Amino acid sequence: MIITTRDIAWHALVDGDSDAPPLVMLHGFAQSVNSFTLHVPELTKHFRVVRIDLPGHGGTQAPTTLDWITLCANLHEAVAQIDSRPAHWFGYSQGGRVAIMCALANPDGVKSLALLGASPGIADESEREMRRDSDKLLGQNIVSRGLNWFTEFWESLPIFATQKDLPEHLQALIRNERMACNPSGLKFALEHYGVGTQPHVLTQLTLWSKPLFLSAGELDEKFRVTNEHIAAESRSLLLAQHEFADCGHAAHLEQPEVFTNLLIDFIQAAESKIA
């Protein structure tokens, strides 16, 4: 379905009983709603699952311009059009950053927050500027060199090295999703809501008082450390943490069953805690 908000026409998939608690799921960079295909059958036994393509990905076209305030406002509006109740939000990597910013922008719309490999932003401004420059260059290379180059480059990153051990059909699913991306859309995402554009919100996230689930792959050291920093100062009324054994960045694809069961358990605990 297409959900039209003030600035963006969003592509979304909605599955599950309309009376079940809503769960918003946001994908990573160079992915789409299809990245959660493995998880939806089990999740829909418990929740109304709302998957949304982020701008420049899947069926959601990139608008002319975008900033974080506009992104969060429009995404909350899209979710509210689908289901007006406060929702549980899950985000992976890029989608986790968006989920963080949306939760902080409008806490009333977010019942709980679950994150996998998600950053609250870069603290040092000079490092943020360097990241903006590197993301701009990456976007230009994606457009000029094409998706074959990008896919090979992305698969060569150390954080995805463990995906080479996945069954062939899963590797094909991941690769095909990357190859289906729009190069200009990826460039837009990097330049308008890449990590270099994101405000550093670590302190605000530690003040988040609602249920919070922090997760990362055991081998994804950067995000394991980030989660430890958040957890050490967290004021969440229900804090859950997990490291996926022998996994890299995309642990939900490497261990889909384990991830799905953990997410279900967390949200059910959150429902009980805030009932």
Q: What are the structural domains of the chain? A: 2-125+199-274 (3.40.50.1820)
| Predicted pLDDT at 165 | 86
What's the confidence (pLDDT) of residue 39? 97
Residue 33 to residue 53: CA distance in whole angstroms:
6
Instruction: Name which residue leads in pLDDT, 273 or 12.
Output: 12
Of 2-6, 113-117, 132-136, 169-173, where does mean pLDDT reach its minimum?
Answer: 169-173
Cβ neighbourhood burial of 126 (10 Å; 0-12, 13-18, 19+) = exposed
* Spatial contact of 196 and 122, defined as CB atoms under 8 Å apart: yes
Decide: 273 and 91 in contact? Cβ < 8 Å: no
Ranking 11-15, 44-48, 152-156, 207-211 by mean pLDDT, the lowest is: 152-156
Q: Indicate if the pLDDT at residue 202 is higher than 80.
A: yes
> What's the whole-number mean pLDDT along residues 163-173?
88
Does the pLDDT at position 85 exceed 90? yes
Distance between CA 269 and CA 211 in Å, rounded? 9
How do 239-244 and 87-92 pair as beta strands?
A: unpaired
Tokens 């599955």 appear where?
15
pTM of the model: 0.97
How much is the average pLDDT of 231-241?
A: 97
Output the pLDDT for position 83: 98
Mean pLDDT in residue range 151-172:
90
Measured CA to CA, the distance from residue 53 to residue 62 in angstroms comes to: 11
Identify the three-state secondary structure at position 215.
Answer: strand
Q: Single out the residue of 49, 1, 44 nearest to residue 22, CA to CA.
A: 49
Mean pLDDT of 17-23: 97
Q: Which pLDDT belongs to residue 275?
A: 67
pLDDT for 164 equals: 87
Share of the chain above pLDDT 90, in %: 94
For the chain, give the percent of residues with pLDDT over 70: 100
Rounded CA separation 93/107 (Å): 20
- How far is Cα 116 from Cα 221, in angstroms, rounded to an integer? 13
Interacting residues of 116 by C-beta distance below 8 A, sequence separation 6+ = 90, 91, 92, 93, 96, 215, 216, 251, 252, 259
pLDDT band, residue 273 (cuts 50/70/90) = confident
pLDDT at 170: 87
Arithmetic mean of pLDDT over the chain: 96
For the record, the structure tokens of 118 come out as 């998600």
DSSP H helical ranges for the chain: 40-43, 68-82, 94-105, 125-145, 147-155, 168-179, 183-193, 202-206, 221-233, 251-254, 256-274
Residue 116 backbone phi and psi in degrees, to 5: -130, 115
